């Protein structure tokens, strides 16, 4: 028997709108072993989580996200769910566990809410850094779940009680496995590359060799090959979705506007020489540091094309296309 899954249907619909490169990364992710993407161990603890606990987790060394326990010690007739906890994880990434810089934003969650058991704290994947009782606004947030059942799917509370409407914040009903949170976080980071720029999965085929296939940095002159396969895929997407033919001259228009908007240092010293198939960029004063920074920015853009698409969507009418 096949059961419809509303959450999966919504995700699949979103994935189908994403660039082919991101879809490719998602497919490759599903082939990985869970040991390739499991969360980092921060510090194991046997102390039971409490409602209002703020915890930190790390999908990759040096990258941290904060989460909060919205409900603890769930009471349920389902023995598997009883005693578990509802958590949410926020989408802002930090390079430190400093709680002082964290401000919760329930409009920007990294994933759907989860129901988890104590193992996430016992194994050290979640580490509590502060207790902050739920505010009145937080108590009013309606967090619910989507339950799949042979007698009919439905929205429900954390204890499994039926809801007659879709809750404000929706997750999948069921106890999350010990690798489930890591899997969902990695999928979200792949689908939203602006959260961690240049996020690379273990065993990712995006190697230096592939990067070198579209960009060279030779004696202070950076050359972009517009005919490279990676660049062509991005160009084709832009033409299909925005109606812009991305030859070398339009790529120059894009880069000029992008660097101007990002207020790049020494922009006035940047020179670009373009023909239909290549773009050469260099700083007139030969600044090596700025040259390396420029190279890194370009690599970031072309290996995270969603950033390019979002920028064009926002500024399409302002860019002076050919």
Closest CA to 170 of 235, 93, 115: 115
**pTM assigned to the model:** 0.64
Joined together, the tokens standing for residue 24 give: 């490719």
Pairing mode of beta strands 221-225, 278-283: antiparallel
Q: Where are the domains of the chain?
A: 6-191, 208-315
Tell me what pLDDT residue 32 has.
87
Asked whether residue 208 carries a pLDDT value surpassing 70, the answer given is no
What average pLDDT is seen over the chain? Answer: 88
Tens digits of per-residue pLDDT, 283-306? 876 666 677 778 888 888 888 888
Q: Cα–Cα distance between 162 and 146 in angstroms, integer?
A: 10
Per-residue pLDDT band at 204 (split at 50, 70, 90): very low
Average pLDDT over residues 156-181: 95
Asked whether residue 210 carries a pLDDT value surpassing 80, the answer given is no
| 3-class secondary structure, 21 | helix
Asked whether residue 211 carries a pLDDT value surpassing 60, the answer given is no
Average pLDDT over residues 141-165: 93
Closest CA to 184 of 56, 63, 53, 11: 11
Tell me what pLDDT residue 201 has.
63
Tell me what pLDDT residue 80 has.
86
């Amino acid at each position: 028997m096949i059961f419809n899954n509303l959450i999966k249907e919504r995700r699949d619909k979103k994935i189908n709108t994403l660039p082919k490169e991101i879809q490719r990364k998602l497919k490759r992710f599903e082939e990985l072993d869970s040991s390739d993407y499991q969360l980092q161990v921060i510090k194991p603890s046997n102390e039971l989580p409490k409602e209002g606990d703020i915890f930190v987790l790390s999908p990759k060394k040096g990258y941290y996200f904060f989460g909060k326990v919205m409900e603890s010690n769930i009471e349920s007739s389902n023995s598997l769910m009883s005693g578990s906890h509802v958590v949410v994880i926020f989408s802002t990434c930090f390079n430190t566990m400093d709680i002082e810089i964290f401000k919760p934003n329930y409009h920007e969650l990294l994933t759907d809410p989860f129901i988890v058991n104590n193992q996430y704290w016992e194994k050290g994947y979640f580490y509590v850094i502060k207790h902050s009782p739920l505010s009145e606004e937080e108590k009013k947030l309606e967090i619910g779940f989507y339950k799949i059942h042979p007698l009919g799917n439905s929205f429900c509370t954390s204890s499994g009680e039926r809801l007659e409407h879709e809750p404000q914040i929706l997750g999948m009903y069921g106890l999350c496995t010990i690798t489930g949170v890591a899997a969902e976080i990695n999928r979200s980071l792949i689908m939203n590359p602006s959260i961690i720029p240049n996020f690379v999965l273990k065993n990712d085929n995006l190697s230096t060799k592939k990067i070198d296939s579209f960009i060279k940095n030779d004696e202070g002159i950076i050359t972009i090959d517009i005919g490279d396969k990676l660049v062509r895929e991005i160009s084709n997407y832009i033409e299909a979705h925005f109606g812009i033919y991305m030859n070398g001259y339009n790529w120059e228009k894009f880069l000029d506007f992008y660097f101007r908007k990002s207020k790049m240092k020494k922009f006035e010293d940047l020179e670009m020489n373009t023909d239909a198939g290549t773009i050469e960029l260099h700083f007139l004063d030969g600044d090596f540091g700025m040259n390396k920074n420029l190279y890194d920015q370009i690599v970031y853009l072309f290996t995270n094309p969603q950033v390019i698409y979002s920028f064009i969507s926002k500024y399409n009418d302002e860019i002076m296309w050919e």
